[in-house]
Amino acid sequence: MELRDYASKYNGITFSREGGVLEMAIHTRGGPAQWGTRVTSLHAELGDAFAHIALDRENKVVILTGTGDSFLTQFDAEENFPETDMSHMWARIHQEGMELLNNLLAIPVPMIAAVNGPATIHAEIPVLCDIVLAAEHAEFADLAHVPSGTVPGDGVHVVWPMLLGPNRGRYFLLTGERIGAQEARSIGVVGEVLAADALLPRARELARQLAANSAPMLRHTRAILARELRMRMIGELSAGLAHEGLAMLSYSAP
């Protein structure tokens, strides 16, 4: 697998690479990223992209960031799922949900998240990276699930209680609490908080430092650092998605 095999494959992801450091920026039609359920949405594309990244042995470090002044805060009003009903749609969403987080964690090299603004939809994606940097105006919340009437079962139920502790994690998921960048740093979710214009330069600086190490060292380091997260996700993600789907089907039934 080479960068040219996937660099132009996705509607909502742009790639560049220099010195073994792969940068991937999520977007929607060139602007800030929005979340959707169509087969061309980020929900569908990210898991596939992570799988390709994992197979490209020229990647030594991966930087994940957003576009504009937000990481991910909006649903895409233009996106509607193509299936005839919710039950058929959810079979695909379950598979995509499994690939999204399991394939992220299966990337065999260190990952750096440069959270360029608020992440209130699927904020678990950037915080699963090994190093999390945040712009000063960034904040973290889970507004896609309980506040929107949806079961928080697609990995957020694993990630946030691990990062925040069981009680704060459940509070966070059930209330839609927003955690600002500085507080996120003080409680250990974020490593550094930076001015917006300093965010990517710092991510690149750290990536270059890491990429100076040998590929085997980086790969074995990533393996041990991601091991517990991978085990937890393998054990709990599918069941969480099933509960989320069952709830959706129950209130969408005629």
Residue 24: other Cβ atoms inside 10 A: 20
- String of b and e for 172-187 (b: at least 16 CB within 10 Å)? bbeeebebbbeebbee
DSSP bridge partners of 21: 18, 61
Residue 226: other Cβ atoms inside 10 A: 21
Rounded CA gap, 165 and 254, in Å?
39
Full-model pTM: 0.94
DSSP bridge partners of 65: 25, 114
198: left (phi over 0), alpha (psi -120 to 50) or beta: alpha
Q: Three-state SS for 183?
A: helix
**Which parts of the chain sit beneath pLDDT 70?**
79, 81, 83-84, 251-254
- Cβ contacts of 242 within 8 Å, gap of 6 or more: 94, 153
Q: Which of 45, 79, 96, 124 is catalytic?
A: 124
Q: Residue 250: its pLDDT value, please?
A: 75
Residue 124 among the catalytic residues: yes
DSSP string for 148-160? GT----SSHHHHH
Is beta strand 139-140 parallel, antiparallel or unpaired with respect to 179-180?
antiparallel
Q: Residue 40: its pLDDT value, please?
A: 79
The domain 3-252: what is its CATH number? 3.90.226.10
Rounded CA gap, 39 and 44, in Å?
6
CA atoms within 13 A on the CB side of 80: 5
Using alpha carbons, list the distances in angstroms from residue 38 to 35, 41, 96: 9, 5, 11
Q: Residue 249: its pLDDT value, please?
A: 75
Q: Residue 251: its pLDDT value, please?
A: 64
Give percent of the chain above pLDDT 70: 97
29: left (phi over 0), alpha (psi -120 to 50) or beta: left
Sign of the C-alpha dihedral computed for residues 4, 67, 54 and 62 taken in this order = positive
Q: Residue 155: its pLDDT value, please?
A: 94
88 token code pair: 């058929």
- Cβ contacts of 205 within 8 Å, gap of 6 or more: none
**Numbers of helices and strands, H then E, in the chain:** 9, 10
Could you read off the pLDDT of 77-94 as tens digits, one per residue?
776 767 667 777 777 888
Q: Residue 253: its pLDDT value, please?
A: 52
Rounded CA gap, 113 and 133, in Å?
6
